[in-house]
Amino acid sequence: MSRPGGALLIAGTTSDAGKSVVVAGICRMLRRRGVRVAPFKAQNMSNNSVVTLDGGEIGRAQALQAQACGLEPSVRFNPILLKPGSDRRSQLVVRGRVVDTVGAADYFTHRTRLREVVAAELAALRAEFDVVICEGAGSPAEINLRATDLANMGLARAAGLPVLVVGDIDRGGVLAHLFGTLAVLEPEDQRLIAGFVINKFRGDVGLLRPGLDQLTALTGRPTLGVLPYCDELWIDAEDSLSTVAGAPVGRPAAPIGSEWLTVAAVRLPRVSNSTDVEALACEPGVAVRWVDDPSGLAEADLVVVPGSKATVDDLAWLRRTGMAEALSRRAAAGGPILGICGGYQMLGRRIVDAVESGAGEVAGLGLLDMDIEFGREKVLRRTTAVGAPGAPDAPAGTAAAGYEIHHGHVRRTAEEPWLYITGWADAGAVDNDAGSSGAERIAEGGVRGAVWGTHLHGLLESDQFRRIWLTQVARYAGRTGFTVAPGTRVAAVRAAQLDLLADLVSGHLDIAGLERLLAEGVPGGLPSVGSTLEALSGAN
């Protein structure tokens, strides 16, 4: 349908406008048509990352887009990743590896090398695949950042990409957002904007049509589609931290038994890999909600303390808000708690951190008897494990898989292991906890009563492991009427969500127009907004 190497860029009027979702939907739609397609995001800013088979980490949105394409996640799809550790500094990850910690001024000094990395990766993907669907970052209207832009018009101009701009009508003012995004760009950038897409529309499209016609008259560009709001779509493909306190995760189905199991996920200020709780939300009868105050923990059957990009700082936040005290009371009363990665580290007695925060020795919550020390080398690897047979209430012998992204190491523990590591796909760093190449089984995580902890992200996506563990959680919580559904498969739920996205794209996007952009590139003769307005003014 398109020449080899066809590519386009999906930009957005704002962060969270729907770029990631639209890219995933287009990728899935093309894949179903037999097109060899790959995703690409030159630069991402996200603490939701995934470990790849080729030895690094990328934004989770690009991992989901790769799945939409039928591909394994690769650092090629997201060569530059910024992981914010504070409002001013971010960890800079290039081709999957940490190379620096930077602020805005520091990042400016890296721009020449990073442009070369981006150009090389995109060129290689275009040579290998029929189509590459690129995703922008934030908004191209951030003209204060244009000089260092690698992911929006900087990428489009360098590679000659046609650009579609997505706007979220649910926020209001979408026609102004689309027009204004185009209008603030310099003429050379404007000529690459080939059209618009409206996302999350509710109601009769006919009522919107006069506005779309006027937008075309003002800009000389068509709207290639109006994607409807879809209540069934909930798997988060975005990179923004869309974990609003009080917001439910997913669309929980009715319980199999007579009782629900409620889960409170702690909304840490620097939460990372927040998508770990999605697997719980896939289960019928499990209601997951984000919370950021002690009252949100009181009635929950299970509390999850997720990962963090700033473990010591987020631990201090737990204390300031009263959450730490609430967690301690809960543990003393036998209430189930799960800590994952940074959340697991916070549960220990002592953290020594001269790397991430530079705080030195800090007291942990003391819910698990262990000490954590941060190392300079980040552990990045995919991991396979089984439930530890000697641990109380572990899914003994049940296989599970996950991935590790952490600087903190367990230096001492008096707790029973929750898991035994059975294999590693090492992405570089050696975990000093293990002292082994992985040939022998290594203890991982810890259990004390109804408190569990692990460094493994994605652990709960292992269906049988999750079912057995949730049954134990329900017992501790006194939910005797809760029954785990026997057939829930997280991978199938994600696949169904991607197919739903593809259906929305197929049904509501101008596919012929999309094909022309992929086959022919940037349309000729696209006017700048200034010239269009002058022509309209002259006609009047």
Judge contact between 156 and 121, C-beta under 8 A: no
408, two tokens: 């903190």
CA distance 225 to 29: 15
H/E stretch holding 308 = strand 307-308
478, two tokens: 């006194």
Q: What is the pLDDT of residue 241?
A: 45
Residue 333 C-alpha from the chain's centroid? 34
H/E stretch holding 114 = helix 111-128
Q: What is the pLDDT of residue 246?
A: 80
Burial 213-232 (b: 16+ CB within 10 A, else e): eebeebbbbbbbbbbbeeee
C-beta neighbour count of 26 within 10 angstroms:
28
* Four-residue CA torsion sign, 242, 243, 245, 248: positive
* Secondary structure of residue 499 in the 3-state scheme: helix
CA distance 110 to 306: 32
Tell me how many degrees the CA angle 309-315-320 measures, rounded to the nearest 5.
Answer: 130
Strand-pair category, 163-168 with 193-201: parallel
Residues in Cβ contact with 377 at an 8 Å cutoff, skipping those fewer than 6 apart: 407, 428, 429, 430
Instruction: Tell me the CA distances in angstroms from 507 to 209, 225, 235, 501, 502, one per residue in order.
Output: 17, 9, 20, 10, 8
CA distance 394 to 384: 16
User: What residue spans of 333-457 are helical by DSSP H?
Assistant: 342-346
Residues in Cβ contact with 378 at an 8 Å cutoff, skipping those fewer than 6 apart: 98, 405, 406, 407, 429
Structural fold of domain 248-491: Rossmann fold (3.40.50)
**Amino acid at the residue 175:** L
Q: What is the pLDDT of residue 430?
A: 37
406 catalytic residue (yes or no): no
Q: What is the pLDDT of residue 1?
A: 43
Q: Using alpha carbons, select from 232, 289, 282, 274 the residue that is nearest to residue 252.
A: 282
Q: Tokens 């049988």 appear where?
A: 464
Hey, which CATH number is domain 8-234+510-539, 1.20.1090.10, 3.40.50.300, 3.10.180.10, 3.40.462.10? 3.40.50.300
Q: Using alpha carbons, select from 533, 471, 185 the residue that is nearest to residue 301.
A: 471
CA distance 473 to 452: 10
* Four-residue CA torsion sign, 241, 245, 250, 255: positive
Residue 225 is classified by DSSP as E
532, two tokens: 């269009």
* Four-residue CA torsion sign, 302, 307, 310, 312: positive
Please list the pLDDT of the chain residue by residue as tens digits (540 residues): 444 479 999 999 998 899 999 999 999 999 999 999 999 999 999 888 999 987 799 999 999 999 999 999 999 999 999 988 777 788 899 999 988 888 877 777 888 899 999 999 999 999 999 999 999 999 999 999 898 899 999 999 999 999 999 999 998 899 999 999 999 999 999 999 999 999 999 999 999 999 999 999 999 999 999 999 998 988 765 544 456 778 889 888 999 999 999 999 999 999 988 889 999 999 999 999 999 999 999 999 999 999 999 999 999 999 999 999 999 999 999 999 999 999 999 999 999 999 988 999 999 999 999 999 999 999 999 999 999 875 545 577 899 999 999 999 999 999 999 999 998 865 444 343 443 344 457 899 999 999 999 999 999 999 999 999 999 999 999 999 999 999 999 999 999 999 999 999 999 999 999 999 999 999 999 999 976 555 555 554
As a whole number of Å, the end-to-end CA separation of the chain is 42
H/E stretch holding 215 = helix 205-219
CA distance 404 to 342: 11
**Amino acid at the residue 242:** S
- Range(s) within the chain of domains with CATH label 3.40.50.880: 248-491
**DSSP track, 236-301:** ---SS----TTPEES-PPPPSSS--EEEEEE--TTEE-GGGGHHHHTSTTEEEEEE-STHHHHT-S
- Range(s) within the chain of domains with CATH label 3.40.50.300: 8-234+510-539
385, two tokens: 């494990």
68, two tokens: 């939409």
Indicate which residue of 134, 282, 341, 508 is catalytic. Answer: 341
Judge contact between 408 and 351, C-beta under 8 A: yes
Q: What number of CA atoms fall less than 13 Å from residue 326's CA on the CB side?
A: 23
341 catalytic residue (yes or no): yes
Longest dimension (CA), the chain: 83
Instruction: Tell me the CA distances in angstroms from 159 to 13, 163, 521, 531, one per residue in order.
Output: 21, 11, 10, 25
Instruction: Tell me the CA distances in angstroms from 341 to 251, 454, 457, one per residue in order.
Output: 26, 6, 7
Q: What is the pLDDT of residue 431?
A: 42
CA distance 394 to 392: 6
E strands, 73-144, are 80-84, 90-94, 97-102, 131-135
